[in-house]
Amino acid sequence: MRWVLLLLVLVAAMPSYGATLVDGSSGEEISVAVVTVVSGSETTDVLVMPGQEFEFSSRKQIVLLVRSNFSESYTHYAQLPAGSTPKTIIVHPGTLLIGQVRTTQDNLLAHVPVSISCPSYAAQIETDDVGMFRIALPADECLLAAEAKGSIGSTTVALEQGVPASATIIVDYEISGVVVPSRSFPLLLILTILFGLAVAGFILWRWPSGDFTAERVKNVLKGKEATIVDALIARGGKATLSHLRSDLRIPRTSLLRTLHGLEQRNVLIKREEHGKVIIALLK
C-alpha cells in the first residue's frame, strides 16, 4: 500500500504547464485543435478548446503535431526541448512525412541515417526496425538523403500544409544473400495472385451473410470503442458527431480521443458534410 501511495504522490508531482498555441505564419491563436504530443515512443492526444490552455509535460523533449479545427490531417507542428515551459508556443505550418529507404533491389533498410534539409529547417534521423521513418516538416520543398555502406541516395519532396506526404529514398546498395528476381518471377507472381483470389473467394463463400466488416470488428473491440461501433451500426453505419454524443453521453474529450484511435486503426473515418462532422464506419 505504501508503494501505491508513493506512486500516486510522484504522478501528482509531475510538472504540467499551460500554454497558448500561435500560428507562426499568421500570428493568430489556435483555439480549437487536437494536439498529438510525441515524447519518445509515447503518444498522447490533447484537446484544445476556446478559453482552455494547452497543457503539457516538459520532462522530455517533445514534438507537437497539431490538427487545427479538428482537420483530418496535421496542419502545424512544433518541437520543444526538455524542461521548456513557454506560455506561448509558436507552431509552424506543415505536415507529417512518412518515408522509407530501399535498395535498388527493393529491400527496406533499417537503422540507416537520413538527413533532411529544408529552406527553414534541417534534421538528422534514422530509419526504424523495418526501414521506415516519420517526421513533422514545414510546408516547403525538402531534400531527403540516406546513406548505407558508403552509398548515398536522395530525393526531393514538395510538402503542402495539411496534406499527408510520403517519400521513398533509393540507395544503390546491394544486400548480400538477396535473391534477384529471375525471368520466372512474373509467372510466380501471377500464380500467387490467383491462389490469393481463390482463398478469398472460399472465405467469402463460407462466411455468413450480414455486415461482414462491422460485426467482425465489433467482436475484437472493448469498452467505449465497441459502444461507438454499436451506435454507428444502429444508425446505419454513420452519424453526426452531435448525434453520437447524444446517443452515448460520453464526454466530448473522451469521445474525440476514442474516435481518433478508431480512425487510426481504419475502423471508421471522419468527414465533413454540409458543415457537419460525419462519423462513418469503413465498409
For residue 268, being part of any structural domain is answered with yes
* Amino acid identity at 163: V
* Amino acid identity at 200: A
Q: Report pLDDT digits (tens) over 176-217.
A: 544 444 445 566 677 788 877 776 665 555 444 444 455 555
Q: Report pLDDT digits (tens) over 70-122.
A: 777 888 888 888 777 778 888 888 888 999 999 988 888 999 999 999 998 88
Residues 88 and 108 in one domain: no
Residues 78 and 27 in one domain: yes
pLDDT of residue 178: 44
Q: In which element (H, E) is residue 97 found?
A: strand 88-103
Phi and psi (nearest 5°) for 104?
Answer: -65, -15
Is the pLDDT at 258 greater than 60, yes or no? Answer: yes
For residue 229, being part of any structural domain is answered with yes
Domains: count for the chain: 3
For residue 205, being part of any structural domain is answered with no
Span of 1-15, 143-157, 230-244 with lowest mean pLDDT? 1-15
Angle between helix 212-220 and 223-234 (nearest 10): 160
pLDDT of residue 208: 44
Question: How would you class 159 by CB atoms within 10 Å of its CB: exposed for 0-12, middle for 13-18, buried for 19 or more?
Answer: buried
Q: Report pLDDT digits (tens) over 38-70.
A: 877 777 888 877 767 777 665 677 888 888 887
Averaged pLDDT, 255-270? 82
At which of 94, 118, 143 does a domain end? 94
Residues 140 and 159 in one domain: yes
| Cβ pair 169, 154 in contact under 8 A | yes
pLDDT of residue 4: 41
Domain that residue 21 falls in: 15-94
For residue 184, being part of any structural domain is answered with no
Q: Which residues pair with 245 in a beta bridge?
A: none
> Which of these, 253, 283, 245, lies nearest to 267 by C-alpha position?
283
The torsion angle over the Cα atoms of residues 233, 236, 238 and 244, rounded to 10 degrees, is -60
Q: In which element (H, E) is residue 220 found?
A: helix 212-220
Residues 103 and 160 in one domain: yes
Confidence of residue 219 (pLDDT cuts 50, 70, 90): low
Angle between helix 223-234 and 241-248 (nearest 10): 120
For residue 2, being part of any structural domain is answered with no
Beginning with the edge strand found earlier in the chain, give each strand of the sheet holding 268-273 in spatial order: 238-240, 276-281, 268-273
> Tell me, what CATH number does 51's domain have?
2.60.40.1120
- In terms of pLDDT, which residue wins out, 46 or 140? 140
At which of 64, 94, 124 does a domain end? 94
Residues 109 and 135 in one domain: yes
For residue 79, being part of any structural domain is answered with yes
Residues 118 and 52 in one domain: no
For residue 187, being part of any structural domain is answered with no
Residues 82 and 25 in one domain: yes
Grid coordinates of 69: 479545427
Beta pairing class for 17-23 and 88-103: parallel
Distances (CA, A) of 206 to 108, 199, 212, 265: 37, 11, 12, 26
Residue whose entry in the numeric block shows the C-alpha cell 519518445: 40
For residue 251, being part of any structural domain is answered with yes
Is the pLDDT at 37 greater than 70, yes or no? Answer: yes
pLDDT of residue 12: 43
pLDDT of residue 207: 45
Residues 20 and 69 in one domain: yes
Grid coordinates of 51: 478559453
At which of 77, 94, 111 does a domain end? 94
> Tell me, what CATH number does 240's domain have?
1.10.10.10
C-alpha–C-alpha distance, residues 78 and 64, integer Å: 5
